[in-house]
Structure formats: structure tokens, C-alpha cells
Amino acid sequence: MSVPMPTHSSSASTLQPEKGQTHPFLGARSSLNLRRRLVNALVVLLTTLAALFAAGLLIYLLFYVLSQGLRYINLDFFTQLPTPNGEPGGGMGEAFQGSLILIALASLMGVPLGLFTGIYLAEFGRGPFAQAVRFLVDVLNGIPTIIFGLLAWVLIVIPMQTFSGLAGGFALGMIMIPIVTRTSEDVLRLVPRELREASLALGATEARTILQVVLPAARNGIITGVVLAMARVAGETAPLLMTAFGTTFWNTDITQPIDALPLRIFQFTLSPYQQQVNQAYAGAFVLIVLILLASLAVRLATGGFKQH
Amino acid sequence: MEQAIAEQLRSGAPPRAGTALSIEQLNAWYGRKQALFDINLTVPPLSVTALIGPSGCGKSTLVRCLNRLHETIPGARVEGRVLANGLDIYGRGIRPMNVRRHIGMVFQQPNPLPTRSIFENVAIGPRLNLGLRGARLRELVERSLRQAALWEEVKDRLHSPAISLSGGQQQRLCIARALALEPEVLLMDEPCSALDPISTLQVEELITYLKRQYTIVVVTHNMQQAARIADRTAFFLHGHLIEEGETQQLFTHPRKKETEDYISGRFG
């Protein structure tokens, strides 16, 4: 089976450096090589240190919050009201309930408005008006969230003469709109034109094509955007200070002040009682975990259901 | 005409006289760029007409003008007339959706609806447009899949996702989907260019079989394919129709020098 290999002595010799010369492939003078290696090592070291520091800070944060609050995370924490000042036990059940109500209200407003704006921008929006809308949505996305709280204060709290869940939901909904708009516009644009044409070529109207072909194809991306927007507003505190305000009682009446997890954390952190401070840490940990779970669930759900 | 066709569709699959297409003074633009210049072409009923030419010559644009798909691209525009058995599909009061129901299309890349099953992909057209459901719908889906020579391969997994099929199967699924609307004309835009040789052969055989019931216009950049399947061939260059005629005539005795240069492989 052995076949004698032909020898290409001439071509082999061209790659051999001749005496006293370096081959052009081997590069320039060695002092330059040394300098390059040093710079390279330095940059690798610096970026690695930065990455370690950033990751370390996050891990430290999680552990610190957990160590301070772990003792208070039990069933009561999720189901009981806060105890009167200084008494042991209790929880922040009303904050979980309130946060759920506020997120539901915000989604009721932010998801349809954001999604429809996204559909408009991706499917119909052309020319200067669409450009203006796109620009405004970007601006909206960058506005400090406390401004939305102020808007809800002016539009809802003052006329109603009371803090309310409604005002809180409105402020959070405003925050959701640009997030949902941008993500849904982006994923709708990613739906290939061939797919739309497949539907149009079957005699489907444009409306049907969008509803039955384009939206289902973009479903995963849209759901991701919605869940991430919900996770984002779940942690918002500033806009709730002057809208939902907070309470330490069960409340499902959205025309009355309503509690929220970040609000309760804020209030308890300022408390003079050590137990409430620790409960604030417990709440912070639960909030982090919930947001983490939401993004994880989205990633799993959409990653395991990938479309080509 | 539309009403007559709709009645015909409801009554089942009758023998047909076929639909002739007559393209008159057709011009098309993408924004400011003109893609087609004064095209005049007649497509006889129940035949296969191939459109050939180098990339960018306008052959795909022309076929997309025949079911009014061209105008769905932002900035795209069409002028001229396309007569289907005498009725101008660009005429007043004609709705593009109705045109597309009667003039089906198969694309270069197989494009089954990815979120739907094999059955749903074929059923969606007749369900939406003809209001069919239940047993009659299942019957039509089976008939379409049989016509597209796919039934035997998928009959046990009609409800698996369409994207689980191979490329060649997906393309035949797209043909079945177009046939399920029982169109008059079938447009095919390079239907084999994304397929392997065996799938290509299957689709070509299918085209030859389907021309007994459908008027077929097929875009191809493969001259051998045009020679194998087409009754008539039209050669395009830079948006102009250079020459058109019987396939054999065009390939053996081209009248124009450009045609001869192209088919003898001197460019393109």
C-alpha cells in the first residue's frame, strides 16, 4: 500500500531561511516581538481582572443579600402582613400581591400599546411620521422612570385626590411601552419576506398575513420582550413612590394605595428595627431571584423552540 | 371571470380549457430603477413556458408581476396590462388577493409556514379562501399532496411540523399548497435551484405532469432544465425580452445574436 511520496525539493527549500537571514514569515526584529508580547499580556491581564471584579461584585451582592435575609424567607414571608413595629414574625404578603396587581395593570396597558406600535413600525410605518415615532420611542426608553411617576401623579393622583394602584400601573405601563415596541418591531422585521410572500401568494389579505403568519413566526421574540419588560418594571421603585405609595395592609382595590415589593424593600431598609431591615434584604433576594427566573424561563422556552 | 372560476372550484375538479396569459407593454420598477421594459409575451394555455436569462435580467420580476406580488415590495411599481383569458388583472376593481387565488406561485426557496403542520400548510389556502372544512378539506389536501407527488411520503405524519421535511419535500409541499387553491396558472420562480439533483428531477417530472391541468410559467437559470420541460422559452436580458418561441426552435436556431451568445455559454 505504500506509495513513494514524490519529493519537491525545490519548493521545500524556498521556505528554509538562508544562512544569516530570517524568513519574511518569521517577522521583524525580536525586540519588537518582545514589546508586542508584553502589551498583549498586559491587556489580557487587565481585561481579565475587570471581568473578575464585575462578576465578583455581583456574586458578593447576591451572597450578602442572601446572608442578611435568608433567615426571614419562609412561608409567612409570602403570606403574612408586616407585624406592628418591633414585633417578631410577619412577612410582606401584601407587597407580593400588590406587585402582581401592578404588573398586571401595567401589562394591560403596555403590552397592547407597545405591540401595536411595534407592528405599525415594522409593517406599515414609512416616511417621516414613522421615523418620528421611532425616535420618540427611543427617547421614551431613555427617560428616567421617576418622570413617568410624575406624569401619573399629575394625570391620576391629583385628580383622584389619592395615591392608587391605578396610578402605579399607569406609570409602569408607560415604562413597558418602549421596551415592548422595540423588541416586537425588531423581531417582526426578522420574519423573512419569503414567509409573507408565501401567505400573500395564497390570496391572503395583508391583515391575515400579519395575524396568522408573521405574528406566530415572531411569537417567541414577542413573548421574550414582554416578559423582560415585566421583569424590568417589577423592580421599579421611584415611579411608585408618588403613585402606588405603598401600604401595610391587604388591598385589591386599585383606586386605593397599593403595596409593591420594591416599595416595601425601600420602606423596611429605612426602618429602625433590625428585623425589618433583614426582611428588606429577604425581599431584595426574592426579587432578584424572580427576575432571574423570568429571564431564564424565557431563554429556555425560546431556545428550546427555535425556528430556523 | 372570477365568479365563473369560483363556481368551477366549488363543483370539484373538472376538465379545463386552461387559461392563457397575455402580457402587453409591461414595465416594472423598483423605486427609480426600471427592471422591465415594454414586455409583450403570450403564454398559451396548458403549457409550460420557461423564462431564461442571466441574473438580474428581470425574469423573476416578470413572474412576480403576473400575480401582482411585485407591487407588495415597498417602492415597487408596475405599468401595462396582463390579460388572463382576456381579463386584465391590473384592471379597475380587481383585487390583488383574488388574482393570487387564481394564479398560484412557488418560490425559489421552499417557504412552508414554519409554525404549522404539513396538513395545515396545504389546508390554509382552501380554508381561508374557499371556506372548506371537515371531510371535503381533508379530501382536497390529500388530492393536492398526491398531485404534488408527496402524499406517500407524508401520509403518516400529516401533523408533524412542515419544517421537519427535507428541502425537496418542502418544495413539493409548497407546490401542493399552491395546487390546493386549484389555480388556473402556476408560477414557479426557480423552483429547483435550492434542490439536489434527485429532488430536481422529481419536481421537473411533476411540472410535465401538471401542465395537463395548469398553465405553467417557470423561471430558471438552468438552460438544460428549460430544454427538458418547457414548450416555449423566452430569453431576457437587462429587462428586455430578447426572443421568444418554441423551446427547440430557440435553442437550435436562435434568431438573435444575444440569444445565441447566451445559450452557447459565451456570457451569463
CATH number of the domain that residue B181 is part of = 3.40.50.300
Residue B243: pLDDT band (50, 70, 90) is: very high
**What pLDDT is recorded for position A125?**
83
Query: Is residue B80 assigned to a domain?
Result: yes
**Residue whose entry in the numeric block shows the C-alpha cell 398531485:** B147
Question: Is A200 close to B72, i.e. CB distance below 8 A?
Answer: yes
Q: Which three cell numbers stand for residue A203?
A: 390570496
Å between B259 CA and nearest CA of chain A: 31
Query: Is residue B116 assigned to a domain?
Result: no
B98 Cβ under 8 Å from any chain A Cβ:
yes
Q: How far apart are CA A154 and CA A172, in angstroms?
A: 15
Q: What residue type is A236 in one-letter code?
A: E
**What pLDDT is recorded for position B221?**
86
B74 Cβ under 8 Å from any chain A Cβ:
yes
Residue A13 has pLDDT above 70, yes or no: no
pLDDT (mean) for A113-123 = 94
Percent of residues, chain B, with pLDDT higher than 90: 55
Question: Is B72 close to A205, i.e. CB distance below 8 A?
Answer: no
Å between A216 CA and nearest CA of chain B: 7
Q: Are strands B21-30 and B33-43 parallel, antiparallel or unpaired?
A: antiparallel
Percent of residues, chain A, with pLDDT higher than 90: 58
Q: Which of B2, B98, B113, B163 to mutate to test the interface with A (most CBs of A within 10 A)?
A: B113
**What pLDDT is recorded for position B6?**
47
Query: Is residue B197 assigned to a domain?
Result: yes
**What pLDDT is recorded for position A31?**
67
A198 Cβ under 8 Å from any chain B Cβ:
yes
Query: Is residue B126 assigned to a domain?
Result: no
pLDDT (mean) for A127-134 = 92
Residue A183: pLDDT band (50, 70, 90) is: very high
Residue B38 has pLDDT above 90, yes or no: yes
Question: Is B128 close to A213, i.e. CB distance below 8 A?
Answer: no
Å between A92 CA and nearest CA of chain B: 43
Å between B105 CA and nearest CA of chain A: 6
Give ipTM to 2 decimals: 0.81
Residue B2 has pLDDT above 50, yes or no: no
Average pLDDT, chain B: 88
Query: Is residue B122 assigned to a domain?
Result: no
Residue B189 has φ and ψ, to the nearest 5°, of: -100, 95
A200 Cβ under 8 Å from any chain B Cβ:
yes
CATH 1.10.3720.10 for the A76-303 domain, yes or no: yes
Q: What is the dihedral of CA A216, A221, A227, A233, to 10 degrees?
A: -120
Question: Which residues are paired to B22 by β-bridges?
Answer: B42, B83
Q: How far apart are CA A234 and CA A183, in angstroms?
A: 18
**Which residues in chain A have their CB less than 8 angstroms from residue B75's CB?**
none
Residue A206 has pLDDT above 60, yes or no: yes
Residue A121 has pLDDT above 90, yes or no: yes
Which among B100, B109, B114 is the nearest to A201, CB-wise? Answer: B100
**Which residues in chain B have their CB less than 8 angstroms from residue A214's CB?**
none
Size of interface A-B (CB pairs under 8 A): 66
Query: Is residue B131 assigned to a domain?
Result: no
Question: Residues of A148-158 as b/e, b for ≥16 C-beta within 10 angstroms?
Answer: bbbbbbeebbe
**What pLDDT is recorded for position A21?**
60
The domain tally of chain B equals: 1
**What pLDDT is recorded for position B193?**
86
Q: Kind and range of the H or E element at B81? A: strand B76-84
Find all residues with CB under 8 Å of B25, minimum gap 6, and list them. Answer: B38, B39, B40, B79, B80, B81
Angle (CA) B132-B15-B231 rounded to 5° is 110
Average pLDDT, chain A: 87
Question: Is B97 close to A204, i.e. CB distance below 8 A?
Answer: yes
**Which residues in chain A have their CB less than 8 angstroms from residue B105's CB?**
197, 201
Q: Are B196 and B184 in contact (CB under 8 A)?
A: no
Residue B7 has pLDDT above 80, yes or no: no
Which among A126, A194, A208 is the nearest to B107, CB-wise? Answer: A194
Domain that holds residue B189: 17-111+167-263
C-alpha distances (whole Å) from A140 to each of A79, A103, A179, A187 are 36, 19, 9, 20
Query: Is residue B196 assigned to a domain?
Result: yes
Query: Is residue B41 assigned to a domain?
Result: yes
Domain limits, chain A: 29-72, 76-303
**What pLDDT is recorded for position B268?**
55
